[in-house]
């Protein structure tokens, strides 16, 4: 893995056999947000984490592989998941450049905060929600929201959103006047096939089979 900063630099390598390249660009604002989250203070100026340097890091490699699979994720939960990946990548780069920060206090979301975020998700269940929206509702930074929301609910925000959408789908499927394709489109899925794939992952069976089991 090759890391570069805003300064120009040259690096050469010989690649034998077939390969794929993934280029990820992180804005300065994201790096600054991660620096402030890790060390409790905003950076003094523009952050240049690295000159041109090759790095072998298991966590970065795993995050990179996950980035390549983003197209396969649910488009409604996708923005939250993409935000999470960007933050995770930024935090890891800050750690590699400045060292691992000391552990912060173990804070948890207060019940009113949890209720506000969950209510916002329920009210916008078919919309493409971003972490910035949820963090604003909770009154926390995006990183704090991800950590504390998972601690409070057992799931990160993107997974919680998908779970709630499937639960809402089950409620709609119990209605005799609903159709599977109608439920899929009403909840923001781009097709019945996509809805069936996600539903089966959470419910262990297709929407049609689940619906038949309820009558």
Residues 197 and 102 in one domain: no
Residues 208 and 105 in one domain: no
Residues 97 and 35 in one domain: yes
d(CA 56, CA 173): 48
Range of the domain at 191: 169-213
Any idea what DSSP says for residue 36? H
| Residues whose CB falls within 8 Å of the CB of residue 137, separated by 6 or more in sequence, listed in order | 116, 117, 120
pLDDT of residue 134: 94
Q: How is residue 88 written in tokens? A: 């995770």
> Residue 53 pairs with which residues in a beta bridge?
3
Q: Is this model's pTM higher than 0.85 or not?
A: no
CA distances to 162, 205, 207 from 176, rounded to whole Å, are 24, 19, 14
d(CA 22, CA 58): 16
* Average pLDDT per block of 10 residues along the chain, 215 residues long: 54 69 80 87 77 76 79 65 88 84 62 90 91 92 89 91 94 92 90 90 93 88
Q: How is residue 105 written in tokens? A: 């206090």
Angle at 194 between CA 193 and CA 196, to 5 degrees: 65
pLDDT of residue 135: 92
pLDDT of residue 25: 79
State the CATH number of the domain containing residue 206: 1.10.10.60
- 33 φ/ψ angles, rounded to the nearest 5 degrees: -60, -45
CA-nearest of 80, 76, 187 to 135 is: 80
pLDDT of residue 13: 65
Residues 182 and 154 in one domain: no
Residues 43 and 94 in one domain: yes
Residues 93 and 153 in one domain: yes
Residues 85 and 182 in one domain: no
Report how many domains make up the chain. Answer: 2
Task: Choose one of 121, 138, 160: the last residue of a domain.
Answer: 160
Residues 181 and 126 in one domain: no
pLDDT of residue 5: 54
Residues 43 and 96 in one domain: yes
Residues 148 and 174 in one domain: no
Helix (H) or strand (E) holding 20: none
Residues 74 and 155 in one domain: yes
Residues 64 and 96 in one domain: yes
């Amino acid at each position: 893995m090759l890391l570069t900063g805003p300064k120009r630099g040259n690096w050469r390598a010989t690649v034998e056999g077939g390969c794929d390249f993934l280029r990820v660009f992180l804005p300065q604002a994201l790096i600054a947000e991660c620096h402030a989250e890790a060390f409790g203070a905003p950076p003094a100026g523009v952050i240049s984490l690295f000159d041109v340097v090759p790095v072998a890091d298991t966590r970065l490699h795993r995050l990179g592989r996950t980035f390549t699979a983003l197209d396969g994720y649910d488009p409604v939960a996708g923005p939250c998941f993409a935000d999470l990946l960007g933050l995770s990548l930024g935090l890891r780069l800050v750690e590699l450049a400045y060292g691992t920060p000391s552990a912060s206090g173990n804070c948890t979301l207060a019940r009113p905060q949890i209720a506000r975020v969950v209510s916002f998700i329920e009210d916008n269940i078919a919309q493409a929600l971003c972490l910035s929206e949820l963090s604003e509702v909770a009154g926390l930074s995006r990183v704090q929201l991800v950590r504390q929301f998972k601690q409070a609910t057992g799931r990160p925000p993107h997974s919680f959103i998908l779970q709630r959408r499937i639960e809402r789908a089950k409620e709609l499927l119990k209605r005799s006047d609903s159709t599977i394709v109608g439920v899929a489109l009403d909840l923001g899925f781009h097709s019945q096939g996509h809805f069936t794939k996600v539903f089966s992952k959470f419910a262990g069976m297709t929407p049609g089979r689940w619906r038949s089991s309820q009558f």
